[in-house]
Amino acid sequence: MRHRTNFSPFGKMFFAAATLAGALMLSGAPQSRAEDCQQRIVKIDHELHKAAEKHGWDSPEVATKRAELNGARQWCWEHGHRWWDEDGQKWHTERDWDEHDHDHGPH
């Protein structure tokens, strides 16, 4: 026995619109992830520099921010195979960050 579904013109239009919306959402995901990545790194880098001004480069507060920065870079790398270099203002497509680049202040 065959089951046949008859959609009204409105139902067909709704199904087509839902399919298109889903496709558009999926196609926007990588860009959104990259923007999230960049924003996360920019925020943590800024917080790291503020903590260094307030507590000094060898403080526990800065050490915590360094760990957060390295974690954010690692997350970006794992999820997008690139990471944002806030100091150089560019994307890197290699896992070439220096985990100690913020140990002693600005370059």
| Cβ partners under 8 Å of residue 15, min gap 6 | 7
Put simply, whether the predicted model's pTM sits higher than 0.85 gets the answer no
33, 47 in Cβ contact below 8 A? no
Percent of the chain with pLDDT over 70: 67
Predicted local distance difference test score (pLDDT) of residue 81: 92
> With bands split at pLDDT 50, 70 and 90, how would you rate the model's confidence at 86?
very high
Percent of the chain with pLDDT over 90: 52
Indicate the DSSP class of residue 91: E
Predicted local distance difference test score (pLDDT) of residue 68: 96
Q: Which of 48, 53, 54 is nearest to 67 (CA)?
A: 48
**Tell me: the pLDDT tens digits for 20-67?**
665 555 554 455 666 889 999 999 999 999 999 999 999 999 999 999
How do the domains of the chain map onto residue ranges? Answer: 32-107
Please state, in angstroms and as integers, the Cα–Cα distance from residue 96 to each residue in 6, 10, 15, 18, 46, following that order.
57, 53, 46, 41, 20
pLDDT at 90 exceeding the cut of 90: yes
C-alpha torsion 105→41→97→83, nearest 10: -160
Mean pLDDT of the chain: 82
pLDDT (mean) for 6-18 = 67
Predicted local distance difference test score (pLDDT) of residue 13: 67
